[in-house]
């Protein structure tokens, strides 16, 4: 490091720290008392630490002279003052400044050895029980081990935010595990691309043409293929993609190398190769098993025909008369089929009476003495289904009692050996469900139970692999009722009529001033963002009496054009601006502020919640749950979020699970409904996202008011791009394979 300048000192202040990437702005106190401002990637700092920084002095135009660190070394403090500052910095929960000073003055330079090896000695200090001493020691040991892991990651050019994930799954063995197999980072749990894992492997001396590297590249290519919605990949495409991934200027990987790898992986039962659906298909084993299992069980369910000693149709007619509801012929057919067959599908667009039909099914099931459970893929969809049917509905994950198994992997308590206690499962919003989750649900159904699938196949396919609902409908093996009649009340809604027009490839028509569907012609990103913000802040609340919390902004994209990231920044500034009365916390590029609307962006089965009224508590918040930040506690490093009638606490190291939700992508909004929806369609959005089913899905999220802010050209592109997202899936083909 001779080319670098060096500064040393005690860490006296952390001005700014980004928990995601480790970037920090700090102040050091040098031995001569000089205060030094320094910047650089320095994760998980603790006040009082002795730091040695390697870098160079620069003159910042706004902040003056400061030191930019390219690398650094940390040393635990040795002085009593330094130890007290370090322990009292909040780095160990349960130790405040006063207790830190007592510990430092009592044990002096032996403090860290006692924390590591003899925690029971802490009980000499009044107020520290043996239980608390062990907890403090455990935190200190974990922190020390995580810092070693952090240093390892930094030395090898890997992001420091990986540290808690690696430590949670692998513990102190993480460094040995990575050294032995760097490609374990390609597991979806770590969210690392192949290039980073590959750079670590090459740094550690692995050959570019080694079997280990090529096998890892093939598995990564297949895993990436899942993220595009495919359950398998044709072998010719796999060979081309893997060669492209693995070849560089220093080594060319040939097609025969990839074929050899496929053979090795097949021998190790990691992949399955099969001729099906006219393709030489290569599957990751878990995808093959999911597809094969679903086809087998659902074919069996489709052949089950329940007979009754009485006329089912007569019973239903009597129930209809009692409830004073008149059902259309197709609705009646769907309700009867739900009771007659082991599996049936109800599909149709907005305003066609799916909800009324489901309620009719529930009445018939009740009269037959059948125990029904309701489920949906997201929390908001489950809440909507529950309100509609006046009975509890659960997310699929909650129904199956999801949790984290060994090493942080998702597992379900309910399954083949511990099935659900029910006679019927009614699953709504099936278009959102991928085949892995569908496999888990079907596996948990008790023998003899019926399955009713409800959804709109013209909405977006699932984010995960497969296109389950569409494949089942097209298989021709399952009883399907498609509702096509738009009921009179729904015909009065321009939202409903335009949704059907778009689905038929026709341009939407704006309403008159007293209607519910409007189009504002804007094109460039800046004007779309400005108009959307003005609508949400002033025009819609003033004209329609809407609270801004009732308005949801949707965009096809996150980053491109008027994407959700730019919209959220603008909407936050307009609807919940910075204020001395509101605490806030910066996390990466996002500022979380009291009063902000936020969304949970991944499933967390462990987070504890309680009802607002204190009547109940439980665990689990799910991807897509939307809430409001009530309070931010800076000293305690946590914030409180209210989700409908639940309250949950998030520590600052959990903030990667939240994002602002004034605007959300159409994909995230699927399964939800909002009083008013504003759809932002600016220029600069990838054509891949400008499709008919994205526009159709966005419009059908609105209950009472829909405003599109975008250009005629963009809307026309979406209406005319009938790309249903062709996916490599063989479920339909498997449903039609006759058993020998």
List, for residues 505-558, the tens digit of each pLDDT value. Answer: 999 999 888 899 999 999 899 999 999 999 999 999 999 999 999 999 999 999
Identify the pLDDT of residue 9: 92
167 pLDDT more than 90: no
Question: What φ, ψ does residue 702 adopt, rounded to 5°?
Answer: -90, 135
354 is in an annotated binding site: yes
196 pLDDT more than 60: yes
Percent of the chain with pLDDT over 70: 98
- Contacts (Cβ under 8 Å, ≥6 apart) of 174: 149, 166, 167
478 pLDDT more than 90: yes
- Contacts (Cβ under 8 Å, ≥6 apart) of 648: 607, 608, 609, 621, 627, 640, 641
129 is in an annotated binding site: no
In the three-class reduction of DSSP (H, G, I as helix; E, B as strand; rest coil), residue 124 is classed as: helix
Identify the pLDDT of residue 73: 85
- Contacts (Cβ under 8 Å, ≥6 apart) of 444: 399, 400, 412, 414, 415, 416, 418, 419, 420
What CATH code is assigned to 5-152? 2.40.50.140
355 is in an annotated binding site: yes
In the three-class reduction of DSSP (H, G, I as helix; E, B as strand; rest coil), residue 12 is classed as: strand
CA distance 52 to 69: 9
Of 62 and 436, which is predicted with more confidence?
Answer: 436
User: pLDDT-based confidence at 32, cuts 50/70/90?
Assistant: confident
In the three-class reduction of DSSP (H, G, I as helix; E, B as strand; rest coil), residue 634 is classed as: coil
CA distance 591 to 10: 29
663 pLDDT more than 50: yes
Report pLDDT digits (tens) over 343-392.
999 999 999 999 999 999 999 999 999 999 999 999 889 999 999 999 99
First-to-last alpha carbon distance for the chain, in angstroms, is 71
- Contacts (Cβ under 8 Å, ≥6 apart) of 48: 10, 11, 77, 81, 82, 83, 84, 85, 86, 87, 89
The average pLDDT across 122-130 equals: 92
Percent of the chain with pLDDT over 90: 69
CA distance 375 to 448: 18
Contact between residue 682 and residue 658 where contact means Cβ atoms under 8 Å apart: no
The average pLDDT across 105-128 equals: 93
Q: Where are the domains of the chain?
A: 5-152, 181-284, 304-486, 494-720
Q: What is the mean pLDDT of the chain?
A: 91
Cβ count near 375 (within 10 Å): 24
Longest dimension (CA), the chain: 96
Identify the pLDDT of residue 650: 94
379 is in an annotated binding site: no
In the three-class reduction of DSSP (H, G, I as helix; E, B as strand; rest coil), residue 307 is classed as: coil
- Contacts (Cβ under 8 Å, ≥6 apart) of 63: 37
What is the per-residue burial (b if ≥16 Cβ within 10 Å, else e) of 277-305?
bebebbbbeebbebbbbbbebbbebbeee
Indicate the Cα dihedral angle 61, 67, 72, 74, nearest 10°.
-120
Of 469 and 277, which is predicted with more confidence?
Answer: 469
CA distance 91 to 492: 60
H-type helices in 476-610, by residue range?
A: 488-491, 494-503, 525-534, 540-544, 564-575
Residue 713: which H helix or E strand, with range? helix 712-720
- Contacts (Cβ under 8 Å, ≥6 apart) of 358: 346, 388, 389, 426, 428, 454
Domains 5-152 and 494-720 agree in fold:
no
Q: What are the CA-CA distances from residue 365 to residues 174, 327, 337, 424, 429 (Å)?
A: 52, 16, 11, 8, 20
Range in 8-12, 563-567, 594-598 the model is least confident about: 8-12
Range in 10-14, 423-427, 727-731 the model is least confident about: 10-14
Identify the pLDDT of residue 2: 47
CA distance 24 to 69: 10
735 pLDDT more than 80: yes
For domain 304-486, give the CATH superfamily: P-loop containing nucleotide triphosphate hydrolases (3.40.50.300)
The average pLDDT across 294-307 equals: 94
User: pLDDT-based confidence at 33, cuts 50/70/90?
Assistant: confident
353 is in an annotated binding site: yes
The 8-class DSSP code of residue 730 comes to -
- Beta strands 551-555; 584-587: pairing state: unpaired
CA distance 63 to 53: 19
Q: What are the CA-CA distances from residue 145 to residues 173, 177, 381 (Å)?
A: 10, 14, 42
Contact between residue 592 and residue 658 where contact means Cβ atoms under 8 Å apart: yes
Nearest to 706 by CA among 559, 520, 538: 520
Contact between residue 246 and residue 217 where contact means Cβ atoms under 8 Å apart: yes
What CATH code is assigned to 494-720? 3.40.50.300
Nearest to 563 by CA among 573, 572, 554: 554
- Contacts (Cβ under 8 Å, ≥6 apart) of 332: 316, 360
In the three-class reduction of DSSP (H, G, I as helix; E, B as strand; rest coil), residue 327 is classed as: coil
User: pLDDT-based confidence at 78, cuts 50/70/90?
Assistant: confident
- Beta strands 590-593; 279-284: pairing state: unpaired
1 pLDDT more than 50: no
Highest mean pLDDT among 7-11, 648-652, 696-700: 696-700
What CATH code is assigned to 181-284? 1.10.10.2220
Prediction pTM value:
0.84
Identify the pLDDT of residue 45: 82
- Contacts (Cβ under 8 Å, ≥6 apart) of 11: 26, 27, 28, 45, 46, 47, 48, 49, 50, 51
Identify the pLDDT of residue 117: 94
Report pLDDT digits (tens) over 378-395.
988 999 999 999 999 999
Q: What are the CA-CA distances from residue 254 to residues 167, 178, 250 (Å)?
A: 37, 27, 13
């Amino acid at each position: 490091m001779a080319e670098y300048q060096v500064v040393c000192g005690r860490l006296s202040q952390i001005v700014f720290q980004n928990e995601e990437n480790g970037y920090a702005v700090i102040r050091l106190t040098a031995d001569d008392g000089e205060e030094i401002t320094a910047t650089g990637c320095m994760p998980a700092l603790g006040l009082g630490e002795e730091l040695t920084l390697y870098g160079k002095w620069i003159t910042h135009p706004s902040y003056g002279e400061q030191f930019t660190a390219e690398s650094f070394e940390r040393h635990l403090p040795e002085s009593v003052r330094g130890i007290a500052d370090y322990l009292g910095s909040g780095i160990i929960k349960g130790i405040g400044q006063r207790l830190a000073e007592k510990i430092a003055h009592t044990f002096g330079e032996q403090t860290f050895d006692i924390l590591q090896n003899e925690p029971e000695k802490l009980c000499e200090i009044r107020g520290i029980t043996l239980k608390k001493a062990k907890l403090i020691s455990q935190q200190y040991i974990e922190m020390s081990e995580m810092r070693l892991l952090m240093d390892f990651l930094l030395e090898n050019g890997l992001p420091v935010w990986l540290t808690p994930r690696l430590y949670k799954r692998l513990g102190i063995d993480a460094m040995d595990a990575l050294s032995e197999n760097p490609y374990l980072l390609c597991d979806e749990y770590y969210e690392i691309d192949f290039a980073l894992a590959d750079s670590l492997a090459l740094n550690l001396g692995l050959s570019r043409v080694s079997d280990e590297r090529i096998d890892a590249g093939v598995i990564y290519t297949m895993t990436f293929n899942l993220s595009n919605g495919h359950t398998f990949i044709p072998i010719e495409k796999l060979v081309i993609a893997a060669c492209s991934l693995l070849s560089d200027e220093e080594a060319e990987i040939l097609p025969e190398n990839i074929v050899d790898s496929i053979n090795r992986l097949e021998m190790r039962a990691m992949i399955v190769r099969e001729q099906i659906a006219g393709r030489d298909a290569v599957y990751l084993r878990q995808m093959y098993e999911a597809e094969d299992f679903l086809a087998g069980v659902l074919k069996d369910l489709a052949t089950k025909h329940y007979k009754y000693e009485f006329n089912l149709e007569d019973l239903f007619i009597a129930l209809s008369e009692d409830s004073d509801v008149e059902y259309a012929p197709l609705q009646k057919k769907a309700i009867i089929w739900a009771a007659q067959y082991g599996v049936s599908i109800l599909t149709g667009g907005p305003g066609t009476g799916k909800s009324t039909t489901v309620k009719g099914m529930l009445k018939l099931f009740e009269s037959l003495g059948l125990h029904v459970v309701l489920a949906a893929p997201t929390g908001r969809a489950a809440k909507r289904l529950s309100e509609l049917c006046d009975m509890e509905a659960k997310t699929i994950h909650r129904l199956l009692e999801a949790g984290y198994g060994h090493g942080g992997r998702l597992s379900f308590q309910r399954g083949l050996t511990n099935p659900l206690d029910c006679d019927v499962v009614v699953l709504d919003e099936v278009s959102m469900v991928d085949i892995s989750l569908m496999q888990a649900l079907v596996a948990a159904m008790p023998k003899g139970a019926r399955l009713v699938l409800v959804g709109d196949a013209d909405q977006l396919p699932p984010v995960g692999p497969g296109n389950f609902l569409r494949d089942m409908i097209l298989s021709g093996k399952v009883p399907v009722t498609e509702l096509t009649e738009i009921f009179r009340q729904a015909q009065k809604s321009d939202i409903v009529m335009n949704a059907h027009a778009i689905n038929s490839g026709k341009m939407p028509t704006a309403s008159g001033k007293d209607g519910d569907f409007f189009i504002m012609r804007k094109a460039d990103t800046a004007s779309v963002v400005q108009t959307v913000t003005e609508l949400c802040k002033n025009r819609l609340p003033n004209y329609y009496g809407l609270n801004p919390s009732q308005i949801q902004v949707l965009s096809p994209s996150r980053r491109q054009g008027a994407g959700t990231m730019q919209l959220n920044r603008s909407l936050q500034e307009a609807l919940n601006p910075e204020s001395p009365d509101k605490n806030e916390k910066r996390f990466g590029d996002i500022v979380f502020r009291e009063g902000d609307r936020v969304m949970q962006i991944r499933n967390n089965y462990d987070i504890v919640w309680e009802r607002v009224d204190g009547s109940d508590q439980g665990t689990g918040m799910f991807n897509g749950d939307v809430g409001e930040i009530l309070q931010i506690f800076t000293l305690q490093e946590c914030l409180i979020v209210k989700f409908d009638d639940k309250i949950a606490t998030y520590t600052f190291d959990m903030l990667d699970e939240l994002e602002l939700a004034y605007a959300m992508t159409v994909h995230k909004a699927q399964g939800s409904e909002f009083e008013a929806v504003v759809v932002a369609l600016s220029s600069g959005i990838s054509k891949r996202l400008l499709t008919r089913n994205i526009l159709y899905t966005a419009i059908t999220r609105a209950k009472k008011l829909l405003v599109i802010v975008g250009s005629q050209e963009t809307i026309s592109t979406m209406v005319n791009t009938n790309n249903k997202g062709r996916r490599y899936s063989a479920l339909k083909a498997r449903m039609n394979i006759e058993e020998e």
